[in-house]
Amino acid sequence: MSNTNYFKELQIAVSPNVVFKVITTEIDKWWTVHSNVANKLNDRLTVRFGETTVKEMLITELEENQNLTWKVTKAFIDIKELSKKDEWVNTEIKWTIKATDKGSQINFVHIGLTSEFECYNACKGGWNFFLNSLKQYLETGKGNPYIPE
């Protein structure tokens, strides 16, 4: 088992200010339709997936168009196979955005989300899906956010 944090790098063909705006104010377009806007230091972000799965985060670091950190303060992942449904609590989700010749580079790391987590495979799959949704939304205007049935 590895204790390496989940990490993904994305190359996006849009400017850092557009990336930052979408990550902070258009979460409903790429992650889940049940979310709020959180674009200032100490703002609280809540995302929901259905009736019971919820994550609440506090913005603890924010440098506009460059860095953003969400500290998970509450989490309930309603997957019946999981015995520990609140593993995300006290993890941190860090976004680093850098300008490139072709747009932006996003370095995304979920600090604390490691293979030791019971939810690791499901959470890794979820992040892979939703980060690809973010890239698609940024480049085409159409993402694949979670929409309840």
pLDDT band at 132 (very low <50, low <70, confident <90, very high): very high
Domains of the chain: 6-140 (3.30.530.20)
pLDDT band at 93 (very low <50, low <70, confident <90, very high): very high
What does the alpha-carbon distance between residue 105 and residue 70 come to, in Å, rounded to a whole number?
A: 19
pLDDT band at 144 (very low <50, low <70, confident <90, very high): very high
**Phi, psi (degrees; rounded to nearest 5) at 139:** -95, -20
pLDDT band at 2 (very low <50, low <70, confident <90, very high): low
Which residues are paired to 11 by β-bridges?
Answer: 105
Residue pair 87/79 in contact by the 8 Å Cβ criterion:
no
Residue pair 136/31 in contact by the 8 Å Cβ criterion:
no
For residue 149, the model assigns a pLDDT of 80
What does the alpha-carbon distance between residue 57 and residue 36 come to, in Å, rounded to a whole number?
A: 11
Spatial strand order of the sheet with 53-63 comes to 6-12, 103-111, 92-100, 67-76, 53-63, 44-49, 34-35
Tokens 């300008």 sit on residue: 99
Asked if the model's pLDDT at residue 3 lies above 80, the reply is: no
For residue 70, the model assigns a pLDDT of 98
DSSP string, 63-127: ETTTEEEEEEEEEE---TT-S-TTTTTT-EEEEEEEEETTEEEEEEEEET--TTSTTHHHHHHHH
pLDDT band at 136 (very low <50, low <70, confident <90, very high): very high
Higher pLDDT, 1 or 69: 69
